[in-house]
Amino acid sequence: MDSNDIRFDKSGLPNISYSNFYANPSYVRTLSLLVGVEAASLANAKILELGCASGGNILPFALKYPDSHSIGIDLSNDLIAFGNEMKLSLNLSNINLICCDIMDVDTSFGTFDYIIVHDVFSLVSDEVRNKILAICKENLNENGLAYISYNTLPGWNNLATIRELALYHSNNFEEIPEKINQIRLLFDFVKEAVKESDSAYAKLMLETSELLNNKPDFSIAHDFLQPHNKAFYLSAFMEEATKVGLQYVVDAEITKMYIPNYSKLISEKLGGIEEVVRMEQYLDFITNRAFRQTILCHNHQLIQRKIPMDRLVDYFFKMNLVSPPEEDILAEELNQEAIFYLNNDPEDTVSTKNPMLKAIFEVFSENNGYLSFHDLVSLSANKLPEVNFSELEAQAKVSLMDLFLKGKIDIRADFISINSHEMDTPKVWEYVTAQTLYLKQKVVTNLFFESVQLSLFEYYLVRYLDGNNTKEVVISKMLDHFNNGELISSYKGTKVTSDEKLRGIISLAYLDALEKFREQALLV
Ligand SMILES: C[S@@+](CC[C@H](N)C(=O)[O-])C[C@H]1O[C@@H](n2cnc3c(N)ncnc32)[C@H](O)[C@@H]1O
């Protein structure tokens, strides 16, 4: 097999195993503690994932937390076998990946602090769905949390039409790769066929064709070729969850629950609705929401819907800010406003005239990774010796809560350390190397359980960053990939073949890649 080929299972589906940031116990705990639910510590957490595929959610967690214990079950023998190859390569003994039907889970599996059911609930029969809810009740510890994602109405109404069209056409073909190819061709045709019309239906078809173009094969197979695909209103889902004794904690995309993120009219009309599920159900109708990631707990827990500001004092914060180029700084001086680009995106900025918030933003721009509340405030205070410390603390609490609920800042209940120092022999997290070597993936999981896209150069590079190789050694090894044609470098349309020139190009690309790996939490 070419080392650059994605692996496929027997049905012809690509075996790609991503970590879903929202489904990770680390984030589930972060959100649940905010609303006052005492979630179990991550260090020795017990986790069950139903329909875990190759274990993309729980394998990185097991590696990061060696005293935790995870069980993942999936019907697909192939996927479990891929996961077990990864487990073996990472030498993990704190995770069991088992080929088993959700219907066969019983109390003998034990009880768990976290139960994850990501991208499964909508794709199974009513019988399996009922069983999933029963497991989330019966196999959940006293303070346990269950995460279930599902396709949501009314947003899925439109997608259901598209799925039916895709199924109708692809039923004429046997193999999954051909079905996927045919779905892409079909939507190219549909796009052309409706482009003259300005009907609402034509608009829907155009938008969906664009959407499909950007989806990878596995995601088309998953959304459009599964035999079951049922969407739910939040209220209907919660009715079923309530029947088994579970209650709503929070949606993993918490910014969508925050009423001030919507228009003034929506805030006024819906902001007063006490019952959270009811308020969110109205929001789903207005926003045509198509997907939900619901966190549930036992119904005896007390949930604090109004988050006390002081709770943030125990959290860690990350904001990827950079100062804008000169011209924007001039505008900033004119307006006496500090502007920063979020995630290097000039379209996504934060700005302030408040000197305390400006100092906080500056601290973020100077630091990679997560900062504790205390460190953030102390470092900001160093920039403002004239400001009273408790005044700065109070400002930080208000601003951080607001930034979080607007989706501008990442927060964590637990500190995750990364290596952001320059090293002579850098080391990439073993999980990333295993993802590239065993699963042939270019989308990898970082230490924060986020997905990071690698370029082809970076994909080959990570395998040599094992903490033992100097830059010169790595350059020689990367040169082989250019010489054997796996990587190509060209200048003004002509392929660069001289080893000396290639070494220079690799050296620069190596430095760029390391900077990215440091920023993206891939180094240990
Ligand atoms: C779309 S995939 C989601 C995989 C994984 N949770 C993730 O986040 O990437 C759905 C998975 O559910 C599994 N599945 C479906 N029905 C199942 C059942 N009754 N018991 C166990 N696994 C099942 C499938 O084999 C498939 O791997």
- Residue 102 CA, closest ligand 1 atom number: 20
Contact between residue 153 and residue 147 where contact means Cβ atoms under 8 Å apart:
no
Same domain, 469 and 509: yes
Question: Tell me, what DSSP letter sits at residue 460?
Answer: H
Q: Is the CB of 435 under 6 A from ligand 1?
A: no
Question: For residue 419, is it within any domain?
Answer: no
* Domain closes at, from 224, 246, 272: 224
Same domain, 241 and 275: yes
Tell me the average pLDDT across 56-68.
97
Contact between residue 155 and residue 284 where contact means Cβ atoms under 8 Å apart:
yes
- Residue 128 CA, closest ligand 1 atom number: 19
In terms of average pLDDT, the best of 34-43, 180-189, 209-218 is 34-43
Q: What is the total residue count of the chain?
A: 524
Question: For residue 308, is it within any domain?
Answer: no
Same domain, 159 and 145: no
Question: For residue 167, is it within any domain?
Answer: yes
Same domain, 83 and 170: no
Q: How confident is the model at residue 13 (pLDDT cuts 50, 70, 90)?
A: low
Q: Is the CB of 101 under 6 A from ligand 1?
A: yes
- Residues 6 or more apart whose Cβ sits within 8 Å of residue 18: 56, 443, 445, 451
Tell me the average pLDDT across 427-449.
93
Contact between residue 401 and residue 393 where contact means Cβ atoms under 8 Å apart:
no
Contact between residue 50 and residue 102 where contact means Cβ atoms under 8 Å apart:
yes
Question: For residue 33, is it within any domain?
Answer: yes
Smallest Cα–Cα separation from 291: which of 159, 467, 481? 159
Q: Is the CB of 128 under 6 A from ligand 1?
A: yes
pLDDT computed for residue 480 by the predictor: 93
Same domain, 291 and 337: no
Same domain, 322 and 348: yes
Name the token pair of 411.
């927060």
Same domain, 504 and 356: no
Average pLDDT, the chain: 90
What CATH number is given to the structural domain containing 26? 3.40.50.150
Smallest Cα–Cα separation from 415: which of 467, 470, 469, 371? 371
Question: For residue 310, is it within any domain?
Answer: no
d(CA 215, CA 221): 10
H/E run at residue 78 = helix 77-89
Question: For residue 82, is it within any domain?
Answer: yes
Ligand 1 centroid, distance to 15 Cα (angstroms): 12
pLDDT computed for residue 244 by the predictor: 98
Contact between residue 129 and residue 100 where contact means Cβ atoms under 8 Å apart:
no
Q: Per-residue pLDDT tens for 127-143?
A: 999 999 999 999 999 99
Q: Is the CB of 102 under 6 A from ligand 1?
A: yes
Same domain, 195 and 292: no
Question: Tell me, what DSSP letter sits at residue 39?
Answer: P
- Residue 56 CA, closest ligand 1 atom number: 9
Contact between residue 447 and residue 414 where contact means Cβ atoms under 8 Å apart:
no
Print the domain residue range for 441: 430-519
* Domain closes at, from 249, 265, 298: 298
DSSP reduced 3-state for 382: helix
Same domain, 212 and 332: no
pLDDT computed for residue 4 by the predictor: 43
* Domain closes at, from 412, 445, 475: 412
pTM for this model (two decimals):
0.91
Question: For residue 66, is it within any domain?
Answer: yes
Name the token pair of 220.
């088309």
Q: Does the N-terminal peptide bond of residue 325 adopt cis geometry, omega within 30 degrees of 0?
A: no
Ligand 1 centroid, distance to 102 Cα (angstroms): 9
CB count, 10 Å around CB of 421? 8
Same domain, 135 and 237: yes
Q: How confident is the model at residue 3 (pLDDT cuts 50, 70, 90)?
A: very low
pLDDT computed for residue 159 by the predictor: 84
pLDDT at 455 over 70: yes
- Pick from 18, 120, 229 the residue to mutate for probing ligand 1's pocket: most ligand atoms within 8 Å of its CB: 120
Q: Per-residue pLDDT tens for 374-420?
A: 999 999 999 998 999 999 999 999 999 999 999 999 999 999 888 87
Same domain, 205 and 247: no
pLDDT computed for residue 481 by the predictor: 93
d(CA 463, CA 485): 18
Contact between residue 121 and residue 132 where contact means Cβ atoms under 8 Å apart:
yes
pLDDT at 109 over 80: yes
Ligand 1 centroid, distance to 414 Cα (angstroms): 29
Indicate the number of domains in the chain: 4
Q: Give the per-residue SS3 of 182-197.
A: HHHHHHHHHHHHHCCC
pLDDT at 307 over 80: yes
Same domain, 243 and 253: yes
Tell me the average pLDDT across 422-426.
89
Q: Per-residue pLDDT tens for 459-509?
A: 999 999 999 999 999 999 999 999 888 888 776 677 777 878 889 999 999
Question: For residue 424, is it within any domain?
Answer: no
pLDDT computed for residue 2 by the predictor: 40
